[in-house]
Structure 1
Amino acid sequence: MGNRFICMTKKDPKEVTGSRSKRMGSRSQRKLLVDEELLHRQALSMALQQSQRFEGSMSRRFNGGNTSSRFNGGNTSSRRRNLSDPFSNGKQLSEFLESLKCKKIVLIHGEGFGAWCWYKSIALLEEAGLVPTALDLTGSGIDITDTNCVTTLAEYSKPLIDYLQNLPEDEKVILVGHSVGGACVSYAMEQYPEKIAKAIFLCATMVSNCQRPFDVFAEELGSAEHFMQESKCLIHGNGKDKPPTGFMFDKQQMKGLYFHQSPAKDVALAMVSMRPIPLGPIMEKLSLSPEKYGTCRRFYIQTLDDHALSPDVQEKLVRENPPEGVFKIKGSDHSPFFSKPQSLHKILVEIAQIS
């Protein structure tokens, strides 16, 4: 009887160890989740301070202008706030986000990309209480239009223009344009300036009046004429004897130009998702007027390890067509939504809450 009792109650040492390990693992996992939530709240708290300086990931420069939120002069930095300052409290943070007049952020992808490239930014912005929307431009992402049929910037930008047309009269949005998507943002600013609260150019073609998006890439790709005659990546959708309709870099070129600092999983996603780039829209000169385009608030985000649009070219764009504010992301390739998503997120939130 005693032996049976012992046999029934005595546990295998391995089972005891396994059970203890599970309990310890569960506690460790809960602690990690709590720590992660705390860090996330602290990061949001820091991001929502207008005078915050994010060391090591970005810097900002504001140009003089006619709004009270602008700083005069060149490079500026501001004092860091203590994490116990106002927005470390979740309720206060939520109340502050509720007070933002414009929480809708429309994300416009660059050449060859689609709405899919913003998946990290969408998740982060939603967690911050903002309302992001990513659009597929015509012939991009999952849009079924043949890219060879997209010949004008108006056609390419139609999903964005349709979105703005359907906005309620009293609503405004923040536009974010990546790379050639910046030309679509500029086009939209000329069409519907009253519906755009702010325009953010992310390593983008922030062109001047009568300039072509392609001209911005001339240093990397050569003149438009040379590119049209010599490039090996051109696509002749209407036949070899007709002018080219688009282009697409091979995978190794794309990796070197766009993704050399990006995680391998994101590069793999891009390799199966990138689509040909319609040639007509980037060869079209934009007509931008001071009365429309010139009334919108513009901000530029520079990527400082960019192989597709070099930091020097980005600096030239900012110098020739000065925006209200300039932000910089260190260590980012041409796809900061992959390579530096947190740094990009902090800047987007900071710009969103500039009054």
Structure 2
Amino acid sequence: MEIMAGDQPQHHFVLVHGMNHGAWCWYMALTLLRLAGHRATALDMAGCGVHPARVDEVLTFQDYSRPLLDALAALPSGDRESCSSRTATAAVGRAMAATSDELLAYVGDDFFMDSQDFEQRNPNISGRPFIFGPEFMARKVYNMSPLEDLNLGLMLIKPANSFTTNNSEEVVMRDENLLTAGRYGSVRRVYVTVEHDRAIPVGFQRRMIAQSPGIEVEGIAAGGADHMVMISRSEDLAELLVRIAGGRGTVRASKANDSVA
């Protein structure tokens, strides 16, 4: 990798994966950010990646998010920039689960193709664990990513609970008063649009943005970006994250065998 860091300030990026995935999916963007002189931490949410919890041991979204909450709590104030999707698209005074509900209504019942539900072994968790199917992954999630990364994803994804069903134990995702104007609304939020994302269609991306007043919007302009933009356009995403965070350096890939700082 060739990095042109210049005199840019250092940032700490905390990278959070999406449904069924793990910290592993950030391997390319994380490397570029570190080689550019930044700190980058990719986390496994509970029950995902190499995290030791089983899916039937993760009762709530708060349990699922505990690795992220603990990691952020341990950082000095101001020593981080986070990149995730679930909270970045939620509006003040709106339950986080509302976005998932509306996406399901927007795309229809057949959208997830060969994806599967599994038997729920824990009666204290509403709904069933869910995993993306191979055809869905190939056609809508990794549709512009290298074939080797699709195959890596197919080997590493794991079932996960969605935490969007009504459940007496699940208060975080359904709490309309959780995201307040004074706290969540006061934090800078940036949504990165991806025109050819087939897992979250661009029309629905625009709807989420419209429902989130005050959110900034950036886009991956280059072609070839899919839902897994951290893989399909890792260099473009890393440069965009650095620019959003206020850095002035350039991230540029060249040699694959350079050392990682």
Give TM-score scaled by structure 2 length.
0.80
Match for residue 37 of structure 2? 129
Paired residue total: 232
For residues 129 and 23 of structure 2, what CA distance do their matches in structure 1 show?
A: 20
Candidates 189, 194, 204, aligned match of 1:298 = 189
Secondary structure in 1 matching 2:163: helix
For residues 73 and 201 of structure 2, what CA distance do their matches in structure 1 show?
A: 34
For residues 183 and 82 of structure 2, what CA distance do their matches in structure 1 show?
A: 15
Which one has more relative contact order, counting CA pairs under 8 Å at least 6 apart? Answer: 2
Higher share of residues assigned helix? 1
2:163 pairs with 1:270:
no
Q: Match of 1:130, as an amino acid?
A: H
For residues 192 and 231 of structure 2, what CA distance do their matches in structure 1 show?
A: 15
For residues 152 and 351 of structure 1, what CA distance do their matches in structure 2 show?
A: 32
Secondary structure in 1 matching 2:227: coil
Candidates 325, 329, 333, aligned match of 2:226 = 333
Q: Match of 1:172, as an amino acid?
A: D
Cα root mean square deviation, aligned: 2.7
Q: Match of 1:285, as an amino acid?
A: R
**How far 1:310 sits from its partner (Å)?**
0.4
Q: Match of 1:220, as an amino acid?
A: V
**How far 1:222 sits from its partner (Å)?**
4.5
2:40 pairs with 1:151:
no
Query: Is the 2:91–2:213 contact (alpha carbons within 8 Å) kept by the matching residues of 1?
Result: no
2:174 pairs with 1:285:
yes
2:124 pairs with 1:217:
no
**How far 1:327 sits from its partner (Å)?**
1.0
For residues 250 and 275 of structure 1, what CA distance do their matches in structure 2 show?
A: 11
Candidates 130, 140, 145, aligned match of 1:257 = 140
Query: Is the 1:151–1:281 contact (alpha carbons within 8 Å) kept by the matching residues of 2?
Result: no
Change (3 A) 1:269 1:341: same
Query: Is the 2:127–2:161 contact (alpha carbons within 8 Å) kept by the matching residues of 1?
Result: no
For residues 95 and 28 of structure 2, what CA distance do their matches in structure 1 show?
A: 34
Match for residue 198 of structure 1? none
For residues 252 and 154 of structure 1, what CA distance do their matches in structure 2 show?
A: 31
For residues 159 and 339 of structure 1, what CA distance do their matches in structure 2 show?
A: 26
Change (3 A) 1:282 1:352: farther
Query: Is the 1:220–1:308 contact (alpha carbons within 8 Å) kept by the matching residues of 2?
Result: no
2:16 pairs with 1:108:
yes
Query: Is the 2:46–2:66 contact (alpha carbons within 8 Å) kept by the matching residues of 1?
Result: yes
Q: CA offsets, 1:99-158, max 9 Å, x none?
A: x2x611100000011000000011110111110000000111101211133232111110
For residues 217 and 62 of structure 2, what CA distance do their matches in structure 1 show?
A: 28
- Which runs of no fewer than 5 residues in structure 2 stay unpaired? 167-172, 249-261
Query: Is the 2:115–2:133 contact (alpha carbons within 8 Å) kept by the matching residues of 1?
Result: no
Match for residue 118 of structure 1? 26
Change (3 A) 1:282 1:354: farther
Moved more, 123-132 or 326-335: 326-335
For residues 219 and 115 of structure 2, what CA distance do their matches in structure 1 show?
A: 33
Query: Is the 1:148–1:245 contact (alpha carbons within 8 Å) kept by the matching residues of 2?
Result: no
Q: Match of 1:338, as an amino acid?
A: I
Q: CA offsets, 1:240-271, max 9 Å, x none?
A: 9x953311122111211200000011111101
Query: Is the 2:13–2:83 contact (alpha carbons within 8 Å) kept by the matching residues of 1?
Result: yes
For residues 135 and 262 of structure 1, what CA distance do their matches in structure 2 show?
A: 22
Give TM-score scaled by structure 1 length.
0.60
Q: CA offsets, 1:2-23, max 9 Å, x none?
A: xxxxxxxxxxxxxxxxxxxxxx
Alignment of 1:1-355 (within 5 A): 37=2, 40-41=3-4, 93=6, 96-97=7-8, 100=9, 103-168=11-76, 170-177=77-84, 182-183=85-86, 186=87, 201=88, 205-208=89-92, 209-212=94-97, 213-218=99-104, 219-222=106-109, 233-238=116-121, 244-280=127-163, 284-286=173-175, 287-330=178-221, 331=223, 332-353=225-246
Secondary structure in 2 matching 1:107: strand
- Which runs of no fewer than 5 residues in structure 1 stay unpaired? 1-35, 45-92, 187-200
Change (3 A) 1:243 1:252: same
Q: CA offsets, 1:281-331, max 9 Å, x none?
A: 576324211111111000010111011100010011111103442111143
Secondary structure in 2 matching 1:269: helix
